[in-house]
Amino acid sequence: MFLYRIARFFLFLIPPEPAHYLTMRLLKLPFADKIFPGTIKKEAKLSKTVGGITFPNPIGLAAGFDKNARWIDLLAKLGFGFIEIGTVTPKPQPGNPKPRLFRLPKDKVLINRMGFNNDGADVIAERLYKLDRSKTKVIIGGNIGKNKITPNEEAVNDYMICFNKLFDFVDYFVVNVSSPNTPGLRELQEKDALFGILSAVQKANIERQNPKPIFLKISPDLHNDQIDEIIDIVTQTGITGIIATNTTISRTGLKTDLETIEKVGDGGMSGRPLAHVSEGILWYLRSKCPKDMILISSGGLMNAHQTKKRLDEGADLVQLYTGFIYEGPGLTKRIKQLLLSN
C-alpha cells in the first residue's frame, strides 16, 4: 500500500489517460507482480460457480480498463477472478476528443467521456484468439456496444456483429446500453428497443451448442419503475442477469469545488460517491428479481469491507474500477484476505 501511494503521487502529476498507459507499462516490468502479488494462500476456497462458469474468485475488473484486450495476462496476475474487456464496437472508433478522462482526488472520483474508443471487433477477436488461455485461468467477459455513427434503429445489428465475432473467445457477454458518453445510447434502455436487442442476442445465443451467460449493464440514474421494466424484459428474454451499475451523470454529494466540476464538464462519474446509489440499486434488484437471476455489483467499491458487504447483500460477483485506480493493485488481495477471514 505504501509503495503504491508513492507511485500514485507521481502518476497523479500526469493527466489520467497517459497515466493509465504508463501504469500498464510499469506493471509489465519483471518485478511488478512480486511487489503487488494478487494471489494468496487458500485462494481456491474463493472459487465460485456463477451462471455455469467457475470463477477463481468473485472479484472482477469492470469494462473500460482493458478496452482492447491488451493486458489480460498482466491483470490476471494482480488477482482478479474475471476481466471484462471493451466496450467493443463492430468498427474501430477513436472515441471523443481529448481530454476525456478526469480525476477529482478529493472525492476519489473519475469522470470520463471516452466514447467507446476501441480497436473494433475484428482486431480484438484476433487478439483474443492469440491469447494462450492455458496460461491465463482468469474468466474473460466481452462488453459490447454500438458504433457512434450507427442510428439507434439499427443498433441491434451492431450488437449482433460483436456477439458473433467475439463468441468463441469470451466466457460471457455484457450488453452495454447505459454509457452516458455515446449520444442517444441510453435511449436503448427503453422498453421496445431493449427487448429487441436482448431477444435478438439471446436467440442467437441459445442456437449455439454452448450458449454463454449474457448480462445487461444498467445505469445508476434509473427510477424504480424503469428498473421494474428492465427486470421484466431480462426475465422475458431469458438472459442471465444484470450488472448494476454503470457511471452516473449526477454530480451530487461532491466535495470538490463547483468551479472545478464545471471545468471538467460532461461525462460519466465513477468512484466513492456512487457507492450508496449502486448499493441501493443492488438492494432493490435483489428484492424484486427472481431468486435465480444473477446480479453483479459495480460502482463505488473502494475498500475490502465495502466489497464484502455487497457480496453479503446479494451480489453474486463484484467489479472494481475506480477503487483499483485510487487504492492500487493491493486492493484485490485485501478483499480476498477479508473474504477468507470470514
Taking the C-alpha atoms of residue 243 and residue 289, their distance in angstroms, rounded to an integer, is: 13
Catalytic residue among 47, 134, 179, 287: 179
What are the angstrom distances between the C-alpha of 6 and each of 101, 214, 228, 236?
Answer: 22, 40, 45, 50
Active-site residue flag, 250: no
Q: What is the largest CA-CA distance in the chain?
A: 55
Q: Which of 162, 150, 236 is nearest to 188 (CA)?
A: 150
**Residue 175 near residue 144, CB atoms below 8 Å:** yes
* Gap between the terminal Cα atoms of the chain: 22
Runs of H (alpha helix) within 51-190: 72-77, 121-130, 155-166
Burial class (CB in 10 A: 0-12, 13-18, 19+), 46: middle
Instruction: Give the position of cell 474487456.
Output: 85
Active-site positions read: 179
